[in-house]
Amino acid sequence: MSIRDKCARLVRSPGRLATGLLALTLTATSALGVTAVAAPASPHAVAQPSAVPAPPAGFTTTWSDDFNGAANSALDTGTWRYDAGPGSSFGTGEIETTTTSTSNVYEDGAGHLVLKALHSGTDPNAGWTSGRVETQADGFGAQPGGVVRVQASIQQPDLSTANGAGYWPAFWMLGAPLRIGVPWPGSGEVDILEDINGRSSVFGTLHCGVSPGGPCNEGTGIGSGERACGGCQTGYHTYAVEIDRSTSPEQIRWYLDGTQYFTLNSTQVDAATWANAVDHSFFVIFDLAIGGAFPAAFGGGPNAATASGGSLNVDYVAVYNKNPNYGTNIAQGKPTTASSSESAQFPAGNATDGDLTTRWSSGFSDPQWLQVDLGQNYNLSHATLTWEAAAASAYQIQTSTDGNNWAVAASNNNSPQDIQSLALSGTARYVRVNATSRASQWGDSLYELAVYGTPATGGPGNTLLSQGKAATASSSENASFTAGNAVDGNTGTRWSSQFSDPQWLEVDLGASHQLSRVDLNWETAYAQAFQIQVSNDNNTWTNLTPVTAGAAGPQSLTVSGSGRYVRMLGTQRATQWGYSLWEFQVYGS
């Protein structure tokens, strides 16, 4: 966990206060089609867990959690953070204390997350413990021109109005900017599911603007009002929200069991308020509160009849995205370097691994850069950047054909928005984000850099010939570090030889090719002296390079010659270890 993550734990959102005040408004109106109370719950069989559903048509799965931990196990704190402390600090009137105990928050061993409220003592307005958790990742949002869908299968507490007074379960999202100090409600809150007092209902709400009052009528927000949710206490139902930036006006849509029940258009508030609250990333929250303004507006609670042990049960949670079709992300999995990294937990390669829950984070100073080697020249068309809330507020996208001479392809001047989409043009092998100003006191932190384009044509050196081809070696350190690892296109796997000289690594291109370049990505155990050799028969070898000194990291060598077999012949190691290559790439035509 970074220093910033520790501090973020102290930012306790006041967001649910607004929903509680919303309830005060709704009790005075019947225009929203409110249905009343649910019947007392009846016994039912334990539900079997469902697999995370395949993405809807046109979407891809960005992230999910199926909660498959052992019975009574704690959550993975690499994925989730506990928001533990007194509910009174949320500003909503809640009376529970949220904890990290597996008495309150646990996986049940049957594929569910359970948040359980427990009471001790005789005073119904004291002695409650419960749970509140939120995702570590806060990069879940819609790209410009795209859609994000956040969905969970949930069983509300199996209580009724007779014994559920004061219960307040919720599934919701807060805007990522909140974690770097942008105040609520301007940073945005989207409530996907809220219910109170065992009423078997659902509320969906957006909070935005300023409080009190403002364009979003805080603390009320803009919401659906109370909607019936039959059987939601006794079984699992699907709750979802979509933020759609592909339509005009932009929309937020709320769904219950796949049926859309409420829509909010961006034109219902001014453009700046909408953009500040919606057009960025979010993090996901589950919690089970007790007491507060919202339950109070519907009759109050808890009271002497309120049951201890009610639970919010989550079968799965998933984030799906439908992004604009720019083609294939040519940066994913490619060698990536940076000016600095905050720690070993946040290396440069995290920004090009295709995973929105990992990130690169720089040192806490300006300027900083992150660079990806695409492996060959491409005609570039587009780039998208998904920043953590600690974004760069000013940066350039720079491109180069040789890694030394750089041209500016796009500029971002003083916009801290964390999801950005940029049109590019020009031909380049290297793409760099050159950040000159930070949006926070933290480093520049990037979940994902995606680059799009098509291979440049005309002349040798444009085709990667070796990836996925048959590779052999003089030796391997063990079965985890085989020769094929060096030509698999994955910079997280490597070949490593035995700890002696000489050693060689060879790739069979399958046919003779005209060769133009060989790229080596050395681990810290590199070659002090080596040569690149070529052969047509795997027997007679010709030197393509003189004896060359290696160095840890990427190394690119221009070559000229032809052949079917290409090898690195290492004659002197730089360390006591073997020769170790993350990638061995041969280019030509």
CATH number of the domain at 3-322, out of 2.60.120.200, 3.40.50.740, 2.170.130.10, 1.10.10.10? 2.60.120.200
CA distance linking residue 486 with residue 585, whole number of Å: 8
Q: What is the spatial distance between Cα 5 and Cα 399, in angstroms, rounded to a whole number?
A: 32
Length of the chain counted residue by residue = 589
CATH of domain 463-588: 2.60.120.260
What is the CATH architecture of 336-455?
Sandwich (2.60)
Contact 396, 408 (CB under 8 A): yes
Instruction: Decide if 336-455 and 463-588 have a common fold.
Output: yes
Residue 312: which H helix or E strand, with range? strand 311-322
Q: Which residues contact residue 129 at a Cβ distance below 8 angstroms, ignoring those fewer than 6 apart?
A: 96, 97, 98, 99, 101, 103, 104, 117, 118, 120
Q: What is the pTM of this model?
A: 0.75
pLDDT per position in the chain (589 positions), as tens? 222 232 333 333 333 333 333 333 333 222 223 333 333 333 333 455 678 999 999 999 999 999 999 999 999 999 999 999 999 988 889 999 999 999 999 999 999 999 999 999 999 999 999 999 999 999 999 999 999 999 999 999 999 999 999 999 999 999 999 999 999 999 999 999 999 999 999 999 999 999 999 999 998 899 999 999 999 999 999 999 999 999 999 999 999 999 999 999 999 999 999 999 999 999 999 999 999 999 999 999 999 999 999 999 999 999 999 999 999 999 999 999 999 999 999 999 999 999 999 999 999 999 999 999 998 889 999 999 999 989 999 999 999 988 888 999 999 886 667 899 999 999 999 999 999 999 899 999 999 999 999 988 654 456 889 999 999 999 999 999 999 999 988 777 899 999 999 999 999 999 999 998 898 989 999 999 999 999 999 999 999 999 889 888 888 898 999 999 999 999 999 999 999 999 999 988 8
Place of tokens 């419960």: 130
Tell me the domain boundaries of the chain.
3-322, 336-455, 463-588
